[in-house]
Amino acid sequence: MTRTPIKNLAPFPDGFVTVAGWVETVRDQKKVQFVILRDESGAVQLVNPATRDLEDGASAEEHAAAALTETIGGLAHGTMIRVTGELKHDERVKLGGIEVKIATLEVVSEALPETPIADDSSLDKRLDWRFLDLRRPEASLIFKIQTTFEHALRSWWVERDFIEIHTPKLMASASESRAELFEMEYFETKAYLAQSPQFFKQMAQPAGFGKVFEIAPAFRADPSFTSRHATEFTSIDAEISWIDSHEDVMQMHEQLLAHAIGAVAAKHGAAIEAAFGVELSAPTTPFPRIPLAEARQIVADGGYEIPRADGDLDPEAERRLSAWVKANHGSDFVFVTDYATGIRPFYHMRREGDPTVTNSYDLLYNGTEISTGAQREHRLDVLIGQAREKGLEPEELEFYLDFFRYGVPPHGGFGMGLARVLMLMLGLGSIRETTYLFRGPTRLLP
C-alpha cells in the first residue's frame, strides 16, 4: 500500500491506510499503547491494544500480537516506522479526530534511545543537531513559509518581465568594502567571496536587460555574534533601469513585499498564528518614508541619544523609530531615506544640489533593517571622483568602471536579507532560527 501523507488522512473513509514517519511519543499503558507518528505534513495517533503475558499454548496470532506490543514498547523517539492499519474517525481523539489501529508495523530505521536535544536545549545545542531540531513542526513551517515567500517574489518579478540572473560568487575584487571580505587562494592568484551581487546586477543595466533579480548567497567576514548577522546569507536583489530616483526603487520594493507577504498570509496565516502568535496580513502601501535626519530627531525626541558617531541609526534607534512609526502611521515598515554621503558606498548617487545626502534608503521591518537600496551613480567622471573620495583605487575597479563607458541607463535597486525578513515576519529572536544551516564566525558545522 502506498503511504498517505498524514494531513490527507482526515477526508479518507474508515478503512485500511498506510502511513510512515517518525515516532514522536509512545504512551505504553497496561492495556493499550498509543504512538504519535509524525511526517512532514502532520501528526496522527496510532493505537494498539496491548497483548502481554501469554499463557502456555497461546496461538500464533497471539504471539504475533505480543511481539507487536513489545516492539511498540521499545520504540525510541525519532525511530522511522511504516504502519498499515485501520483508520477510524472518532471525535474523542484530540489530535484531529482520527486514529489508526495498527495492523502491521515495520521499523524502517531505528533511532538511538537518547535524543541529544530536548525542548529546552539552548539554540546553539539545537544548531549542533539541526536535522533533529528541524523535525519540530514550527521549524519546518518556517521553510514552508520561505518557499511560499520566494515563489511569490519570483512570480511578481516574472509577471513584470524581470530577468533572473545568477552572478558569480568568486570575485577578483571586493563587492562592498574591503572590510568583511573573505579572501581565498585561487590558483596563481587571490579570489574573494562575493559580499553582494552589486557590481554584476548593475552590469545588467548597460547589458540592456532592463529589470533583473537574483536570490543567492552572499558572504561577509563579519566577526560579530549578533542575532542578525551571518557570515553567509541569502541575499534578495533587484536592479532596474530608467529610474528617475530611488523613489522608483522604493515603489517596486514595497509592492513586491506587499504581494509576497500577502501570499504568505493567505497560505500560512492560520499556521503562523498558531505557531508564533503573529497575525500576519499583507502590508498596506505606500510605506511611510522618513529622511534620516528626521528619523534621528524622532528618536532624540523620544529620549534616546544614538551613540554612533557616524550618524547612522543603531539597533536601539531602529527599534524606537519603528515603534514610533507603528504608533503614528500604523505601519510595520518604514523607509528611512536620504542617507548622508559619509555612511554610504561610493556607488550611491548623491542628491542634485545637495551632495551631502544620497538618493538612498534603508528599509526597516518591525524594528530592524532588512534592506538597503539606492539610485546608482552612472556618470563615469562623478563615479570615479566618489570612489577616490572613499579611498578606493579606480585602477582596481576598471572592470566595473567599464560598465559606464559604453552607454548606461540611470538605474537603481536594493539588496535584502532573506533570513532577516523571515525572522521579523514571524517575531523570532535570531536569524539562526530562519536560516536552514546558519554560518557564523564559530559555526561551519553541520
Residues that bind ligand AMO (CB under 6 A): 176, 196, 198, 220, 222, 229-230, 233, 235, 237, 369-374, 413-417, 420
CB 366, min distance to ligand AMO, A: 13
376 is in an annotated binding site: yes
141 is in an annotated binding site: no
CB 362 within 8 A of CB 371: yes
Q: Give the C-alpha separation, 19 to 9, whole Å.
A: 9
CB 272, min distance to ligand AMO, A: 21
Helices (H) and strands (E) in the chain, counts: 11, 18
Q: Give the C-alpha separation, 388 to 28, whole Å.
A: 74
420 is in an annotated binding site: yes
Q: Which three cell numbers stand for residue 159?
A: 509577471
419 is in an annotated binding site: yes
417 is in an annotated binding site: yes
Q: Which amino acid is at 246?
A: H
Closer by beta carbon to ligand AMO, 48 or else 198? 198
CB 242 within 8 A of CB 127: no
Closer by beta carbon to ligand AMO, 79 or else 198? 198
Q: Which three cell numbers stand for residue 80?
A: 522511522
CB 197, min distance to ligand AMO, A: 8
Closer by beta carbon to ligand AMO, 150 or else 222? 222
CB 371, min distance to ligand AMO, A: 5
CB 80, min distance to ligand AMO, A: 34
Closer by beta carbon to ligand AMO, 33 or else 372? 372
CB 335 within 8 A of CB 250: yes
Nearest residue to ligand AMO, by Cβ distance, number only: 417
Q: Which three cell numbers stand for residue 213?
A: 533579480
Q: Which three cell numbers stand for residue 417?
A: 536579507
337 is in an annotated binding site: no
CB 83 within 8 A of CB 20: yes
Closer by beta carbon to ligand AMO, 99 or else 176? 176
443 is in an annotated binding site: no
Q: Give the C-alpha separation, 330 to 337, whole Å.
A: 19
Q: Which of 11, 167, 183, 200 is nearest to 87 (CA)?
A: 11
Closer by beta carbon to ligand AMO, 48 or else 195? 195
Residues contributing to the annotated binding site:
176, 220, 369, 372, 376, 417-420
Question: Which residues contribute to the annotated binding site for L-aspartate?
Answer: 176, 220, 372, 376
